[in-house]
Structure 1
Amino acid sequence: MSIAVFLGPSLPRAEAAAILEADYRPPVRQGDVYRLVQQRRPQAIAVVDGYFQEVPSVWHKEILWALDQGIPVYGAASMGALRAAELARYGMVGIGKIYDAYRAGSYAPYGDEPFEDDDEVAVIHGPAELSYPPLSVAMVDLRETLAQAAEAGVIDAALRDALVAAFKRRFYRARSFEALSEVLVELGVPSQAAQALQAWLAQGRTSQKKADAAALLETLAAGGTALPTDSDGFIFERTTLWAQFIEQTEAGPPARSAAERSVLEELRLDPDLYASLRDIAVLRLRLDVVEPPPPADAGARRAALDRLRHRHGLWSREALEAWAEACDLDRAGLDRLLDFEAALETCAVGAGPALDSALLDVLRREGRYGPLAARARDKAQRLAGVEMVATAPSAPSPAMLLDWYFEGCLDRGVPTDLPAYAAGLGFEGVEALLAALAREQRYRAVCDDPSTPKGA
């Protein structure tokens, strides 16, 4: 038996392997812990990274089930620290400063400011092929870096707290050290103080997530799989919901042929066609189980409005108002439209793998399966044997791939919310999107007429 570790952007795989020999797995998602215990029954499970939004997050109850099966479960740094803090009283063991802060509800030296949100540790990252490179900086790492800057006398506590508050107001995907200049300007920080901080950051930035992940692995390497827990024991209840979870997890997504998977990838590379067919597919699924959609909350309505703006290029308030007027929509009418858009999104997300089956049926019905299948076969044949090494010096970076596809191929800007964009097209996260773009770019480079058959 070995120790299984769910690891992503918090610590590079090579550095982790140098600390602990283990069964390293991608960031954890719902069902992964259950399947791991059922299929491998490891000596212990360590959760570092996991998905928060792109796909369903690891369920608390599957961790409890692993504990009930006598398998110790540890957490640190990211999703692991969060789940460990939530499940400490049941026996999950947490390691590191971030875990301690989640347990305490505050992160030193920030006083009584609540420390409880999952956005403190959430980041966006590149694909597994590139070792999950972080594309943003976790809020907790910004906190720790700025705390050390204050401790070193580079900034005072007031500026430290103001910078943290400003970054906290930003969407977590927009947090980075590169954005610090913009934040300093927003706060009106004098240029001399701003330059001093920027100069210090060249060597001073740190990652508490990385430190905590390494600490967890070092603990396990030192034989820490029998660490004491805070649990007084618990009775695992096999509820109806648990039975449904097992049934869905063991069934897994329906089997897809290689041809069907490649056709779906081709479809996802044409976001406009995907969006139109997905809506038809959703409505087709609704025929199976007819039920009224739930009312949209404020967050769902804002997300629906963002999708509407992106779809029609309504970047200003004036453009949105002109579009609504042209559609004979007053405020109430626009709200109804947003509720419908939100309901479609809710249905699409809730449909899960069944949506792909519906999409394939719609493609066949609309006469579009054949052209996409032909393009997918041609792509596979042309790329057969073509070296696609993501770590090669000539390989495009994630940013270059995104610019090439959105600005060069689609003539539109790169979405600010890449995980939401990828999830909206059915990709399993940003890494799956980037992998598809890498294949598409290489295909266009070796093909004379590689255009996607948008109207086929």
Structure 2
Amino acid sequence: MTAIVFIGPTISEAEVLSVLDADCWSPAAQGDVYRAVQQRPRFIGLIDGYFDGVASVWHKEILWALSEGVTVLGASSMGALRAAELSAFGMTGIGQIFKGYQSGKIEDDDEVAVVHGPAELGYLPLSEPMVNIRPTLEGAAASKVLSKEQSQYLCLLAKSMDYRERTWEQVLERSSSNELPKSVRQALADWLPENRIDQKKLDAFELLETIKRTMAEVHAPAQVSFTFEHTILWQQGTASWSVRQDTSEHSRNVLDELMLSDQQFAVRQKALLRKSAVDWAFERDVEFSASERREVTKRFREQAGLLSGAQLANWLSANDLSAEEFKELLIEELSVARLAEDDPEVFDAHALGVLKLEGAYESLARRALHKAEILGRREGETGAETSPSGLHPTVLEDWFFRQRPNYGGFGSVKAFVAAHGLQSKDDFYTILAREYLYLQQLESDAG
């Protein structure tokens, strides 16, 4: 993975992807930067983050990300705040809002804070931040819509309001007719839709462009001038932030139900495999491209019948998953697949061991010996090849996948081949050709 960007009301995922191939996460809360580093990105872009009701991103987790060699950039909102506070330690601040905080021209958190809608509505902003209001009013004065004094008056009025109530409609409604005549108020209202300045979005785009430009350069891991201290408080924090660690009573009850079911052993074995794969990928700084992430997401949704956004949202709710947790689960899927691809011979040896312990080896071994005997006899009697050279790959694919819709749920031959640990499509076609000819010969012998 190359870049993770925390976004919300400032900029949409579609806008991010129009500039940068990045993994978009929801507004950052405490522990989210730590969790993001587990995915081994080269860059973390902190734009949106929570202020109220949820613990904010901790400075120490950003310092830890920097000490791990991740380039962390901040802009627009929570990102600008944290970058101003941590720029001396290596965090990169981007944009005018960051510069305002760094210089002391901007001081208060409420300058960037907004009320916004839920994730289902794309974090729709429901209030206007001061960092957007101030340059917009300056622009109105420069355009002669307002006088300099009127611009300053409205700016002070907006600043005096609680950030939750700060909207253009409220600013205009609360303005004094003595300070802002009705005609001027209407002129400003008419001017705003086409001319309001969204400085937070402008800074967010600048952050994305900076990451994109830096990606194209030779990139050495970020160097820091401090030694990260693994304090008791840090250890307690990371213990509670461990990826998807869920100790709620409901989750504990679900696991109790699992223990009483027939699925317990199989689920436990799969969980151990996933943990091993995730640890393996983490230790080797394995990265997954955006196309790999999109493909595994597409494949899962097709397999699970989650074709619409509403179906996916309902499934996430039913499974107590956030969008980020869902993405992390799919990263685990990719880690398992990559582990199998990395050393297929070792993986195959373990697969044989599992077959033997589970009592499935003997029947498969008998069939393999019988197939070799039949195909050897057939080749000796007819001179016919048992390789795919005499059978077109399309014919073999149609035959094999006729009873396996959507390529066995993997979406493509390439994905199916990779998921089953084969080195190439040629190996796959050889296996299919041998099976096809084996069944054909059995049918001929029986007739």
TM-score by length of 2: 0.54
- What corresponds to 1:29 in structure 2? 29
SS at match of 1:89: helix
Secondary structure (helix, strand or coil) at the match of 2:137 reads helix
Q: Which has the higher helix share?
A: 2
Deviations 1:220-269 (A, max 9, x none): 112258899999711212222112212222284414547989xxxxxxxx
2:52 maps to 1:60:
no
User: Hey, what does 1:336 align to over in structure 2?
Assistant: none
Residue of structure 2 equivalent to 1:7: 7
Partner letter of residue 19 of structure 2?
Answer: I
For the residue of structure 2 that corresponds to 1:24, the secondary structure is: strand
1:40 aligns with 2:39: yes
Once the two structures are TM-superposed, the CA of residue 179 in structure 1 deviates from its matched residue by 1.2
Matches within 5 A, 1:23-422: 23-37=23-37, 39-106=38-105, 115-185=106-176, 188-223=179-214, 233-250=225-242, 252-257=245-250, 389=310
If the length of structure 1 is used for normalisation, what is the TM-score?
0.53
Q: What is the distance in 1 between the residues matched to 2:125 and 2:196? A: 14
Q: Which runs of 5+ in 2 are unaligned?
A: 255-305, 312-320, 323-447
CA distance in 2, matches of 1:163, 1:238: 48
Q: Judging changes above 3 Å, is the alpha-carbon distance between structure 1 residues 388 and 223 closer, same or farther for their aligned structure 2 residues? A: closer
Separation of aligned partners in 2, 1:150 and 1:243:
52
After superposition, give the CA deviation of every residue in 1:28-47 in whole Å (9 maximum; x if it has no partner).
Answer: 0000111221x211111110
Give me the whole-angstrom Cα distance separating, in 2, the residues matched to 1:31 and 1:226: 30
> Which position in structure 1 is the counterpart of 2:295?
none
| TM-aligned CA distance change 1:130 to 1:63, over 3 Å | same
The change in CA–CA distance for 1:230 and 1:210 in structure 2 (over 3 A counts) is same
State the shift of 1:160 in Å: 1.2
CA deviation vs aligned residue, 1:245-301 (integer Å, no higher than 9, x gap) = 12222284414547989xxxxxxxxxxxxxxxxxxxxxxxxxxxxxxxxxxxxxxxx
Conserved 8 A contact 1:88-1:229: no
Partner Cα distance (2:2, 2:51) in 1: 26
Structure 1 SS opposite 2:158:
helix
In the alignment, residue 203 of structure 2 is paired with which amino acid?
D
CA RMSD of aligned residues (A): 3.2
Q: 1:230 to 1:67 in 2, by over 3 A?
A: closer
Alpha-carbon separation, structure 1, partners of 2:80 and 2:221:
15
Cα distance per residue 1:52-108 (max 9 Å; x no partner): 1121000000000000111110000000011000000000001100001111111xx
Q: Say if 1:117 and 1:253 are closer, same or farther in 2 by CA, change over 3 A.
A: farther
Partners of 1:130 and 1:85 lie apart in 2 by 30
1:17 aligns with 2:38: no
- Once residues 208 and 227 of structure 1 are traced to their aligned partners in structure 2, the CA distance between those partners, rounded to angstroms, is 29
> How many residues get paired?
262
1:226 and 1:85 map into 2 onto residues whose CA distance is 26
Alignment partner of 1:185: what SS? Answer: coil
**Are the aligned partners of 2:67 and 2:224 in contact in 1 as well (CA < 8 Å)?**
no
- Alpha carbons 1:77, 1:121 under 8 Å: kept: yes
Q: Is the 8 A contact 1:98 1:209 kept in 2?
A: yes
Identical-residue share of aligned pairs (%): 45
Amino acid at match of 1:17: L
Counterparts in 2 of 1:188 and 1:259: CA distance versus 1, 3 Å:
farther
After TM superposition, the structure 1 stretch with the greater mean CA deviation from structure 2, 73-82 or 193-202, is: 193-202
User: How far apart, CA to CA, are the structure 2 residues paired with 1:76 and 1:187?
Assistant: 38
> Relative to 1, partners in 2 of residues 1:260 and 1:53: Cα closer, same or farther, differing over 3 Å?
farther
- Of structures 1 and 2, the one scoring higher in RCO (CA 8 A, sep 6+) is 1
Letter in 2 for 1:19: V
Displacement of 1:15 in angstroms is: 1.1
Q: Distance in 1 between matches of 2:219 and 2:178?
A: 46
CA contact (8 A) 2:71 2:221 kept: no
Larger Rg belongs to: 2
Shift of 1:188: 3.8
CA deviation string 1:106-150 (max 9, x = no partner): 1xxxxxxxx111111111111112211111111111112111111
Gaps of 5+ in 1: 107-114, 262-384, 391-427, 430-456
Partner of 2:340: none
Cα 1:229–1:95, aligned 2, differ >3 Å: closer, same or farther?
farther
Distance in 1 of aligned mates of 2:108 and 2:86: 16
**Contact 1:50–1:79 (Cα < 8 Å) also in 2:** yes
In structure 1, what is the Cα distance between the partners aligned to 2:163 and 2:50? 14
Structure 1 residues 72 and 388: alpha-carbon distance in aligned structure 2, compared to 1, 3 A threshold: closer
